[in-house]
Structure 1
Amino acid sequence: MALKRGSLAALLSAALYIGNAPSIHALQNGVGRLPALAYNTWNAYQCNIDENLMVTTAELMVSLGLQDAGYNRVNLDDCWAMKNRTAEGYVEPDTTRFSKGFNWLTDQLHSLGFQAGIYSDSGWYTCAGYPGSFENEARDAETFQNWGFDYLKYDNCYIPYDDIIREGVYGKYQRMSNAITNLSETTRQPPILFSLCEWGNDQVWLWGASVGHSWRTTGDIGPYWNSLANIINTNSFITQATNFYGRNDLDMLQLGNGNLTYDESKSHFTSWALMKSPLIIGTNLSSITNETLEILTNKDILAINQDNVYGTSISPFRWGINPDWVSNASYPAQYWSGQSENGTVFMLLNTLDEPADMFFNLTESPWIRAGIQYNVRDLWTHTDNGTAVRNFTATAVPPHGVVALLLTEAGDEPAGTMPLCAVWAQCAAQNGTYVQG
């Protein structure tokens, strides 16, 4: 499906808006500078949750090495509450499944070295029908903080009628953002990290950074390739919205939850990590496979996601199958690059149903210098694979597979490298004579 001319114009206008928008300082307070690495209960358990499951999951994250890899949050999703608020208007945890209370639970998680996350909704009810936070934002923010939670996932169900809410989608989320900010200023405690699960507005990336630390950019993810391709395609046009303290959220990781092949799972994790999305595990850890664990703990890929120098996402430098800037939900952009503390990152994504060779000129990426040769490190094999001069070809990339590379400068190109310019149509000598590129 080709992107309409008007939609492209809107995207380009939005890009200019992002570049010229004033910096948002309210959220740059030390919370949420880097993408969250976390576990969330929904994918594996939906409403079948209790306090023992939460503690067992945290203990498994330690024993499986996920905590050592950087995953430092355990997030409770929907269905944790009693169906009704108390007479005083407060939410309370289910008295059977969380009989010890949430202070006990968060104490357990904190003692194991994790931060603790909770879930609520910007409407009357959560998506599963439990009390939402609309018109109770300040009360709920204070309650969550008093219980010891550090993170809030905030959903988008059961929206009040217009003549009641009297807000746009921005204002609906700003209510809880203000409550969290005001609470932090009053208590002098760090603010709760605020994750917007706002899947109903395709321009959330324009205003998300002024409200929260991450924002969902699409509907719910599914555990199959077409869903992944659609999400990658959508986000290929809005990568400029991601930076330190605020980022596009591509939804939870589906590794081990569906029919993804091993190569599709690697593409899933690589795309999410290098686009600096939060990495939220939803796999049942009691039955996790070694393959899934290997993917989730790839130290080279995680290092890019958690880069302390560059908070920006990789972006396409060539779409590949499609002309540049053409939207195709089944065949998203294939050639991506970005900056990192240790070099230039490349992602080559084979969106075809068959193996493919993938070639690019190095200086197609804006982060590569002409006249320089580059050392090539493969971020999946964890090997150094020689030197690239002018171009690189990845051979026989598997169907729906990925190649992730880190290129670092290795000195000048060999003398006599031809052509004189690798890609420039305007290649010229100092005397003004054009030469063939």
Structure 2
Amino acid sequence: MRPRLPSVAPINSFYSKLLVAIVGAALCFLSLPCVQALNNGVARLPVLGYNTWNAYQCNIDEDLLLTTAKLMKSLGLQAAGYNYVNIDDCYSERNRSASGDIVEDKVRFKGGMKKLNAQIHALGFKTGIYSDAGWFTCAGYPGSYQNELRDAKTFQDWGFDYLKYDNCAIPYDSITRQGIVGRYQRMYDALAQLASTSRKAPMVFSLCQWGWSQTTGDIAPAWNSLADIINFNSFITQATDFYGRNDLDMLQLGNGGLTFEESKSHFTAWALMRSPLLIGTNLSTITPEILGILTNKEILAINQDDVVGKSISPFRWGTNPDWTSNSTHPAQFWSGPSKYGTVFMLLNTHNEPSTLSFNLTESPWIRAGRQYYVRDLWAHTDNGTAVRNFTAQDVPSHGVVALLLKDAGDEPDGLFPACSVWWQCTDKNGTHVGG
């Protein structure tokens, strides 16, 4: 299996002329063919939900999916906004039917996908399914190449709302005569055709293309894996906005291998970079501490901001010179806009506690000469007013500080020096302001 990449909103469920779109902002940044997701209201915000692969891989059946949906409801995850229950690879028979259709596994999904979807929908969730742009899926089950329209109709008839589309078992170049975008274009076209003829609600189209993805391999419940993904994504944050997201792969909280502080950092980075948040944890063993992280309402509110869709971005790398790629020590100082104020993430990438300090105006979203109310998004406390600088003392190893700063008016009069970045300023007579 490979990382799951960008979620897109292919079609609009409210208009007769329904279209599909492939997300492509990451492609633009990497100088690959540039395509844009449609501004059509579908999947405008990051998807929140559950995916079976990380916790169960191929060990899935209808009882597990229904139990997971019920747990999401009883644990309060649905109330927190997690509203998708997604099946990953291995749900089908190894071979298509005599008529050429994908068939659900007759033992593990003996009741059929239609019945399972109806049960999960009745609990208030949407559902997702998985396929591949090649001959086979990554686990060796039937892929959708040359069967795109047939499979899209099957998934729609089964009742799915979301399609994750992988990139294994690619046909020879002499067969496809296409590159990355062209292979996905085939399902793009199939979904568009299906939507225009069926008049049914469209599926979200989620691309998994690990050749130009944000990760260098499958995510693992280990700090080195998280740091590597954060480092890679730090250079393409501008590719995220409404309808197209840099998907950082599934959430590994609760799968072992991460400390509590690392789990907080994991969730904070994914959420504030506006990634889809797909839980990959065995919910029957989830701890109250991990559940508390996943349901942090203030962090989730930033992820689901309906006014500002942009990711946070680094304004200073910290350990390394700015714009330095380092898979073990990614950027430490991040900020971005939101409808609530300016969001900051301070990440301690070291193996010991660190004090992290910055000048407020290092962030492009902060105005010079102003002071700011400080809200701690993990402690859920108001921490006074910041003037010019902010310091977080003793941030735990691999830990995080998440802040929301709101304008509190002009900074106090008479501060010395006259500029927060004093060496950049001069008096109108030409003299430096002094340090």
Question: What TM-score, normalized by structure 2, do the two folds share?
Answer: 0.91
What CA deviation, in whole Å up to 9, does each residue of 1:229-264 have, x standing for no partner?
A: 000000000000000000101000111112100000
Cα gap change, 1:158/1:359 in structure 2, threshold over 3 Å: closer, same or farther?
same
- From 419, 422, 431, the equivalent of 1:421 is 419
Secondary structure class of the residue paired with 1:337: strand
2:102 corresponds in structure 1 to 91
What CA deviation, in whole Å up to 9, does each residue of 1:73-112 have, x standing for no partner?
A: 0000111001101111110111111111111111111111
Q: Note the C-alpha offset of 1:436.
A: 2.8
Q: Where do 1:107-256 residues align within 5 Å?
A: 107-199=118-210, 201-202=211-212, 217-256=215-254
2:61 corresponds in structure 1 to 50
2:7 corresponds in structure 1 to none
Q: In structure 1, how many angstroms separate the alpha carbons of the residues matched to 2:331 and 2:271?
A: 16
Q: Note the C-alpha offset of 1:161.
A: 1.1
Q: Does 1:77 align with 2:88?
A: yes
Check conservation: 1:37, 1:278, Cα contact below 8 A: yes
Q: Note the C-alpha offset of 1:48.
A: 1.1
Q: In structure 2, how many angstroms separate the alpha carbons of the residues matched to 1:335 and 1:190?
A: 41
- From 299, 304, 318, the equivalent of 2:297 is 299
What CA deviation, in whole Å up to 9, does each residue of 1:375-401 have, x standing for no partner?
A: 100000101011100000000000000
Q: Where do 1:270-309 residues align within 5 Å?
A: 270-309=268-307
Q: Note the C-alpha offset of 1:15.
A: 4.7
Q: Note the C-alpha offset of 1:435.
A: 2.2
Which 5+ residue runs of structure 1 have no aligned equivalent? Answer: 1-10, 205-215
Which 5+ residue runs of structure 2 have no aligned equivalent? Answer: 1-24
Amino acid at match of 2:67: T
Q: In structure 2, how many angstroms separate the alpha carbons of the residues matched to 1:285 and 1:401?
A: 24
Check conservation: 2:46, 2:276, Cα contact below 8 A: yes
Q: Which moved more, 1:186-195 or 1:63-72?
A: 186-195
Q: In structure 2, how many angstroms separate the alpha carbons of the residues matched to 1:245 and 1:424?
A: 41
Q: Note the C-alpha offset of 1:317.
A: 0.1
Q: In structure 1, how many angstroms separate the alpha carbons of the residues matched to 2:432 and 2:31?
A: 37
What CA deviation, in whole Å up to 9, does each residue of 1:135-173 have, x standing for no partner?
A: 111111111111110001111111111111211111111
1:7 corresponds in structure 2 to none
Q: In structure 2, how many angstroms separate the alpha carbons of the residues matched to 1:49 and 1:107?
A: 18
Q: In structure 2, how many angstroms separate the alpha carbons of the residues matched to 1:60 and 1:170?
A: 38
Q: In structure 2, how many angstroms separate the alpha carbons of the residues matched to 1:244 and 1:273?
A: 14
RMSD across aligned C-alpha pairs, in angstroms? 2.0
Amino acid at match of 1:285: L
Q: Note the C-alpha offset of 1:421.
A: 0.9
Q: In structure 2, how many angstroms separate the alpha carbons of the residues matched to 1:414 and 1:121?
A: 59
Q: Note the C-alpha offset of 1:17.
A: 7.1
Secondary structure class of the residue paired with 1:368: coil
Q: In structure 2, how many angstroms separate the alpha carbons of the residues matched to 1:276 and 1:403?
A: 17
Q: Note the C-alpha offset of 1:28.
A: 2.1
Q: Note the C-alpha offset of 1:219.
A: 2.1
Question: What TM-score, normalized by structure 1, do the two folds share?
Answer: 0.91
Instruction: Report the number of matched residues.
Output: 411
Q: Percent identity?
A: 68
Q: Does 1:360 align with 2:358?
A: yes
Q: Which has the higher contact order (CA 8 A, sep 6+)?
A: 2
Amino acid at match of 1:222: A
Q: Note the C-alpha offset of 1:27.
A: 2.6
